[in-house]
Amino acid sequence: MTKKTIFITGASSGIGKATAIYFGQKGWNVAATMRELTKEQTSDFEKYPSITIFKLDVTDKESIEKAVSDILQKFSQIDVLFNNAGYSLAGAFEATTDEQIRKQFETNLFGVMNVTRAMLPHFRNKKSGIILNTTSSGGLLTFPLYSVYNSTKWALEGFMEALQYELKSFNIVVKNIEPATVKSEFVNNISFVSNPDYDHYAQKVQHNTLAGYKNAPTPGVVAKIVYTAATDNRSKLRYPATPQARVAFFLRWLLPLKIFNNMVASGVEKELHNK
Ligand SMILES: NC(=O)c1ccc[n+]([C@@H]2O[C@H](COP(=O)([O-])OP(=O)(O)OC[C@H]3O[C@@H](n4cnc5c(N)ncnc54)[C@H](OP(=O)(O)O)[C@@H]3O)[C@@H](O)[C@H]2O)c1
């Protein structure tokens, strides 16, 4: 049987890296793409012969075209696209600049759109394909100080939910992978903006939010869900990818929005008024 191939964005660390290694161990060809091909980013892949590294910045259309063409040249076909690259802008909305917001959308939304568009002719020609996307629990729920990040992931959820209709007749399936907090470089790479008028609120809330990462699952937990989504032959759109995400989605389904929102706020606003 021919080996299947997965094309992953943002494979230099975290969920993308763990997924590349997991699929490599399962015998898949893996096109692990990343912005920088430094020794530090690539050395962990050296012991996996089925993983090949390609350079790709999702905000750069030329680099997308080149990566897709190089991957197809190497593997002849791609079975699964995993749109995973992303980062978070955080802090009070009023403190964010237009440039910071656009950059956040360029990566988390427009980058995914551009990579997906570049892959569709290939998937249509072979009359099959699976498009997986790392959205977030924050793509269906909201959290204080994450209004811009949440809006990119809500947009991604909506975009992919709508896209699935028009791709169905080409046998192209869309699936969203939805983790809550995961222990990766994500938390270290949060681009945090501040405004003195919000400092009292923002510092406490961000402190409490980051405390939630202490017991967060590893990226390997998400990689297994990605593998399930790639191989279960189901046309299911949403895959909550960590236990915390499953609980949060259940409570959101169960509770009136106002109560759910108060619960989210009290979780991260605790001790806010203590000296
Ligand atoms: N960790 C969490 O708590 C969490 C929760 C929910 C959803 N997510 C989502 O999960 C995805 C993966 O994040 P992670 O947790 O694995 O964090 P991570 O360890 O920081 O990995 C993020 C990856 O995205 C890459 N990336 C960022 N901008 C890029 C660009 N313009 N072009 C190509 N690659 C780019 C990073 O590359 P560089 O190394 O070059 O920066 C890195 O490989 C993201 O979409 C994130 O929003 C994470």
Distance from residue 33's CA to the centre of ligand 1 (Å):
12
Nearest-angstrom CA–CA distance, 1 and 227: 18
Nearest-angstrom CA–CA distance, 198 and 181: 24
Contact 10, 85 (CB under 8 A): yes
Residue 1 pLDDT greater than 70, yes or no = no
Q: Which domains does the chain have, with CATH numbers?
A: 5-269 (3.40.50.720)
DSSP state of 4: P
Quick one: pLDDT at residue 68? Answer: 98
Helices (H) and strands (E) in the chain, counts: 10, 9
Distance from residue 153's CA to the centre of ligand 1 (Å):
13
Q: Which atom of ligand 1 is nearest to the CA of 11?
A: 43
Nearest-angstrom CA–CA distance, 149 and 143: 9
> 79-124: per-residue pLDDT in tens?
999 999 999 999 999 999 999 999 999 999 999 999 999 999 999 9
pTM (global) more than 0.95:
yes
Contact 26, 227 (CB under 8 A): yes
Token pair recorded at residue 8: 């992953």
Distance from residue 71's CA to the centre of ligand 1 (Å):
21
Range in 1-5, 86-90, 158-162 the model is least confident about: 1-5
**Burial (0-12, 13-18, 19+ Cβ within 10 Å), 157:** buried
Q: Which atom of ligand 1 is nearest to the CA of 15?
A: 16
Residue 264 pLDDT greater than 80, yes or no = yes
For the question of residue 146 being annotated catalytic, the response is no
